Structures are given as C-alpha cells and as structure tokens.
C-alpha cells in the first residue's frame, strides 16, 4: 500500500516534499484537485463532497494511509471522513489531517498569543482556535482569513504574494507564534519572517515529515503494510503547463499527470 497525499491544488506538494525528504523509501501518490481550486471560498457541502471523492480516488490508487494536506479540507471534512465514511467504505484505511500536528508545534515554545492565517473556510470553521484552546484554555488566538494568497501562488505571482504578506503582517506584530494554516503558505514563510522577525512563524513543511515518521513509529501495524520502492506519482484533476512549472520548483524531475476521479 502507498502513502496518499491530497490537496485542493499544488500547495500540498510542499508537504509531500517534506515527507519524501524525511521518508524517501516509501511510495507516494499525490493528488491535487486543481479542477475545483480554490476550496477556501467553497461551501462546506462542496468541500466535503470534493474531499470524499479525492479519498476514494486515492484508495483506488492503493493508498493505505492518506494525509489530507489541505487545511480547508481537514477543517471541514476530516472528522466526518474518519468517523463516518472510512468505517463504512474502507475500514482498513487510515486518514490523517494537518491541523493537530500544527497546533502541537505552535505551542511547543510556550506561546501565550497565537495568530492564524488561512483560507476563508478554515477561519470560519475556527478549527485552529478550538484545538489551540483545548491544549491551553488561557491562550489568546487571533484568526485572519487571507484567501488571496492561494490564487497568487497558484498563478506563480510571488510579487503579488509578497505585497499581500506586507499588508497582512501588521495584524500579527503582537503574537508569539503565527500559524501558516494553509499548505500553500510555506512558500511565503520567508516573507512572513522578514516582516515579523520577532514572531515564531510555524510552517507545516518544516515538521510534517517528522510528524509522519513519528506516527509510523507508533503504528507499526500501518507501517508494515506500506510499500517501499521509492515510487512517486503526482496527479491532478486538471493539468496545464503552468501547474507543471509550479511543481517543477519543488520536483524538477517528476511530471504531473492529469487524471479523472474514478470512485
């Protein structure tokens, strides 16, 4: 069985790169639902439907462990998929998200005030605030929706993205940690760190590989089912040359293939 990684677009490739750099021996299938991008401004019903379709597709690709790298899909769909869909449809498959590992990392330094930037849907769900307060009820949390970032990144317009960071950064000068709550946003982490030198910027690409390794160490029953042939496939629901150019920044030797959901 392979490790599947799902995102609404290409941002999850940043997380996949972290996985591959940490655990290169495993087989990975990445699926980006570029045909329905962006998820952040879609309804909860749409996001749930897209995510279920993506999980079905990755199961059809023989993925035994699936990571929903999309923060928006994690916030809206993960609980339903774990508690309702997977037990009935594929009880041997494990599906994980990215929010809990991110929250745990953000609080390691003892932060008393945490900021969150994410898509509109993620912010509206308040999932980060809820999970942060479960660990520290006295924490102060500041959430700001930054939907423009995803479109700028997907268009490879980093000049625009840098200007957007400059415009949002003043909201977070008084926080201890700032969570980049979207898998696209690690591509902007240096801009945030330049604008907020006294704030700990929590970027998912920097710890998700270690978190996955730790999970597999703790769940040997899953680890032993995973194949190790260093096979990597990157699939999208809609291909164009621009997406390939974006992907080449992270994986210059691996082509993106267009595929259709089939399950």
pLDDT in tens, 64-92: 999 999 999 999 999 999 999 999 999 99
Residue 12 has pLDDT above 70, yes or no: yes
Binning pLDDT at 50, 70 and 90, where does residue 246 land?
A: confident
159 given a catalytic annotation:
no
Catalytic hit among 182, 199, 235, 256:
182
Q: How buried is 239 (Cβ within 10 angstroms: 0-12 exposed, 13-18 middle, 19+ buried)?
A: middle
Domain with CATH 3.40.50.1860 in the chain: 2-97+207-258, 100-204
For the domain made up of 100-204, give the CATH fold. Answer: Rossmann fold (3.40.50)
Binning pLDDT at 50, 70 and 90, where does residue 261 land?
A: low
For the domain made up of 2-97+207-258, give the CATH fold. Answer: Rossmann fold (3.40.50)
**107-162 per-position pLDDT tens digit:** 999 999 999 999 999 999 999 999 999 999 999 999 999 989 988 988 889 999 99
- Residue 43: per-residue pLDDT: 94
Share of the chain above pLDDT 90, in %: 86
Binning pLDDT at 50, 70 and 90, where does residue 192 land?
A: very high
Residue 263 has pLDDT above 50, yes or no: no
CA distances 44 to 9, 41, 48, 134, 143, Å, are 17, 9, 6, 23, 19
- Residue 178: per-residue pLDDT: 98
- Residue 262: per-residue pLDDT: 46
- Residue 155: per-residue pLDDT: 84
Q: Is the bond leading into 54 cis (omega within 30 degrees of zero)?
A: no
What secondary structure, in 3-state letters, does the chain show? Answer: CEEEEEECCCCHHHHHHHHHHHCCCCCEEEEECHHHCCCCCCCHHHHHHHHHHHHHHHHHCCEEEEEECCHHHHHHHHHHHHHHHHHHHCCCCEEECCHHHHHHHHCCCCCCEEEEEECHHHHHHCHHHHHHHHHCCCCEEEEEECCHHHHHHHCCCHHHHHHHHHHHHHHHCCCCEEEECCCCHHHHHHHHHHHCCCCEEECHHHCHHHHHHHHHHHCHHHHCCCCCCCCEEEEECCCCHHHHHHHHCCCCCCCEEECCCCC
- Residue 260: per-residue pLDDT: 66
pTM for the predicted model, two decimal places: 0.93
Contact predicate 179/100, CB 8 Å:
no
Residue 255 has pLDDT above 80, yes or no: yes
63 given a catalytic annotation:
no
How large is the average pLDDT for residues 5-19? Answer: 93
More confident residue, 44 or 262: 44
Catalytic hit among 13, 47, 70, 77:
70
How large is the average pLDDT for residues 1-27? Answer: 95
């Amino acid at each position: 069985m392979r490790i599947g990684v799902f995102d609404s677009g290409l941002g999850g490739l940043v997380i996949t790169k972290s996985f591959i750099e940490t655990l290169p021996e495993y087989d990975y299938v990445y699926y980006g639902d570029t045909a329905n991008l962006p998820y952040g401004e879609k309804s909860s019903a749409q996001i749930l439907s897209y995510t279920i379709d993506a999980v079905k597709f990755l199961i059809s690709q023989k993925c035994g462990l699936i990571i929903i790298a999309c923060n928006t899909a994690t916030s809206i769909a993960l609980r339903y998929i774990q508690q309702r869909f997977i037990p009935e449809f594929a009880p041997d498959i494990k599906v994980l998200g990215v929010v809990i590992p991110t929250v745990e990392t953000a609080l390691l330094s003892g932060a008393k005030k945490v900021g969150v930037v994410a898509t509109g849907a993620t912010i509206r769900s308040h999932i980060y605030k809820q999970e942060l307060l479960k660990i520290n009820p006295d924490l102060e949390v500041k959430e700001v929706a930054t939907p423009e970032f995803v479109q700028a990144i997907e268009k490879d317009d980093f000049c625009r993205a840098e200007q957007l960071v400059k415009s949002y950064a003043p909201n977070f000068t008084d926080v201890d940690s700032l969570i980049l709550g979207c898998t696209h946003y690690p591509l902007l982490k240096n801009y945030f760190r330049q604008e907020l030198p006294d704030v700990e910027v929590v970027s998912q690409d920097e710890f998700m590989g270690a978190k996955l390794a730790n999970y597999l160490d703790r769940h040997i029953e899953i680890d032993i089912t995973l194949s190790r042939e260093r096979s990597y496939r990157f699939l999208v629901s809609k291909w164009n040359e621009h997406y390939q150019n974006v992907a080449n920044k992270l994986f210059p030797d691996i082509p993106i293939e267009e595929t259709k959901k089939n399950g």
